[in-house]
Chain A
Amino acid sequence: QQPVQSPQAVILREGEDAVINCSSSKALYSVHWYRQKHGEAPVFLMILLKGGEQKGHEKISASFNEKKQQSSLYLTASQLSYSGTYFCGTISMDSNYQLIWGAGTKLIIKP
């Protein structure tokens, strides 16, 4: 079952913060986050594993709430280069490592 991403789109000014959520109705093994810029292939950002791990990459970090089966991606002091569509992918405990993708969140950063 496809994870639900929210919001569908967000417009920010450079320097503002953003949070993108990814929720699943299934017990999750891992959550994967990717960013896709217009006309390019998706690029891997990070993986969060069962256990509530929080990972970070420069000013982009994420958390995984195992009880809620929800992950959040945090973009701090957003830069123009953060613009793009963010996809979460989830692997559930009852799957054979099949990654199921969310519909994506479009992030627009304005100067």
Chain B
Amino acid sequence: EAGVTQSPTHLIKTRGQQATLRCSPISGHTSVYWYQQALGLGLQFLLWYDEGEERNRGNFPPRFSGRQFPNYSSELNVNALELEDSALYLCASSLVTGRRPQHFGDGTRLSIL
């Protein structure tokens, strides 16, 4: 069974540009979660999508947005990039239940120059 896949692995942008990150969940998982992890820090919750709908979003500005497609894959868009957006962006998928784990992809390392 294929795990969660994220693309690209690395992304280098300059300030003010826009970035698009992609995530394919494990087959059968309907929920996709996005997290931001700055170097050496914890997991900051960004967005949660389930069945194509946004279920919840973390304390991030509106320039962080995303969507979930009918095949449950998802993309995260970050507009007007700022230096502090440099981080590892992790995607996880799960079934919507408190009894099932989230499975993480390897992440996209976004660097803003």
Q: Which A residues contact B (CB, under 8 angstroms)?
A: 29-30, 32, 40-44, 47, 49, 87, 89, 91, 96-104
Chain A residue with the shortest CB-CB distance to B105: A41
**Chain B interface mostly:** loop
When the two chains form the complex, which single residue of B55, B99, B101, B103 contacts A96, counting CB atoms closer than 8 Å? B55
**Chain A interface mostly:** strand
| Residues in A whose Cβ lies below 8 Å from that of B104 | 41-43
Known: A40-B106, A47-B99. 9 other contacts (CB 8 A): A30-B99, A32-B101, A41-B90, A41-B106, A49-B99, A97-B96, A97-B97, A97-B98, A104-B42
| Residues in A whose Cβ lies below 8 Å from that of B98 | 29-30, 49, 91, 97
A98-B96 Cα distance, complex, nearest whole Å: 9
| Residues in A whose Cβ lies below 8 Å from that of B101 | 32, 44, 47
Q: Does B64 contact A (CB under 8 A)?
A: no
Q: Does B7 contact A (CB under 8 A)?
A: no
| Residues in B whose Cβ lies below 8 Å from that of A49 | 98-99
Question: In the complex the two chains form, is A42's CB within 8 Å of B42's CB?
Answer: no
Name the interface residues of B32-90: CB closer than 8 Å to any CB of A.
33, 42-43, 45, 48, 55-56, 90
A10-B12 Cα distance, complex, nearest whole Å: 35
A42-B105 Cα distance, complex, nearest whole Å: 9
Interface centre among B43, B100, B104 (most CB of A within 10 A): B43
A100-B100 Cα distance, complex, nearest whole Å: 14
- The digit string for B89-113, where 1 denotes a CB below 8 A from any CB of A, is 0100000111111111111000000
Question: In the complex the two chains form, is B55's CB within 8 Å of A44's CB?
Answer: no
A42-B92 Cα distance, complex, nearest whole Å: 10
| Residues in B whose Cβ lies below 8 Å from that of A104 | 42
| Residues in A whose Cβ lies below 8 Å from that of B105 | 41
Question: In the complex the two chains form, is B107's CB within 8 Å of A87's CB?
Answer: no
A53 to chain B, nearest CB (A): 11
B38 to chain A, nearest CB (A): 12
A93-B99 Cα distance, complex, nearest whole Å: 13
Chain A residue with the shortest CB-CB distance to B91: A41
